[in-house]
Chains A and B, each alone.
Chain A
Amino acid sequence: QLQLQESGSGLVKPSQTLSLTCAVSGGSISSGGYSWSWIRQPPGKGLEWIGYIYHSGSTYYNPSLKSRVTISVDRSKNQFSLKLSSVTAADTAVYYCARADAVGQLDYWGQGTLVTVSS
C-alpha cells in the first residue's frame, strides 16, 4: 500500500521560504505514468493545486504561483519536495502531497501538514 508523508517547518516568517518534503513508501517514485503533486488548502477554504513533478524531473506549476514555486525529486531517497519563496499570510494552509495519474486524478494522499506564515 502506497503511503505518503509530509514533513517540514510548520511556522515560516513572512518573506521567507517554505520548505516541505514528501516521503513515499510502499512504492517507487520512479514508477512510470504518475506525477507527484503538491496541493494546499487554506483554513476553511477549498483545494488549490500548486504543481507536480514527473519521475523524469519535468515540472508543471500553477500559473498563479509559478514565480515562487520549485518542486524537485530525490529518487535515491524516494521523496519529492516543495519550496515556496517570499511567503505571506495568504500562504498559510494545510499542504498535501499526493500521487496523480497522467490526467491529474489523485489516488494517494499524505495526511497533510499545516504551515502557518507569521512573524
Chain B
Amino acid sequence: QSALTQPRSVSGSPGQSVTISCTGTSSDVGGYNYVSWYQQHPGKAPKLMIYDVSKRPSGVPDRFSGSKSGNTASLTISGLQAEDEADYYCCSYAGSYTFDVVFGGGTKLTVL
C-alpha cells in the first residue's frame, strides 16, 4: 500500500502552535482509530508520542495532541519549544489482509 502523505516541512515560533497533517485512505487512516505519531531527533531512534489517534504515552507532555477527521489525522503541538524541533512520522494500521501497517513520509518541524 502507499505511504501516508505528510507535508515535507512545517515551522513555528516558540510559544505558537503547529499542526502536522497525515492523509491516507479509507483503507488505513479513515478505516481504523489506530494512528500513531513518532518524534525523531537527529541521530536518535523514533519515540512514540501519540497512539490510538489521540492518546499520549506516559511522560509525553500534554502540549502534544492528536485527532482525526475522515482520512486525515493530525498532530498538534501547542506552546512550541526549541526541543520540539525534530522529524515527525505518522503511522496507521491498515487491516490484516496484507502487510497491515504504513508510515507517512515524515515532516521536518523547525522552531524559528
Q: Indicate which residue in B32, B34, B48, B99 contacts A107 across the interface (CB closer than 8 Å).
A: B48
Q: Name A residues whose Cβ lies closer than 8 Å to a Cβ of B.
A: 46-49, 51, 60-63, 96, 100-101, 103-107, 109-112
Query: Are B105's CB and A60's CB within 8 A?
Result: no
Residues of B within 8 A of A111 (CB): 44-45
Distance between Cα atoms of A63 and B98 in the complex (Å) = 8
Q: Name B residues whose Cβ lies closer than 8 Å to a Cβ of A.
A: 3, 32, 34, 36, 38, 44-48, 51-52, 57, 89, 91, 93, 98-106
Interchain residue pairs with CB less than 8 A apart (12): A46-B106, A47-B91, A49-B102, A62-B99, A103-B32, A104-B91, A104-B101, A105-B34, A105-B52, A106-B91, A107-B57, A109-B46
Interface Cβ pair total, 8 Å cutoff: 60
Task: Name the distance in Å between B24's Cβ and chain A's nearest Cβ.
Answer: 13
Query: Are A61's CB and B99's CB within 8 A?
Result: yes
Further contacts, 8 of them, CB under 8 A, given A48-B103, A63-B98, A105-B91: A47-B38, A60-B100, A100-B101, A101-B51, A104-B101, A105-B34, A105-B36, A109-B45
Query: Are B100's CB and A104's CB within 8 A?
Result: yes
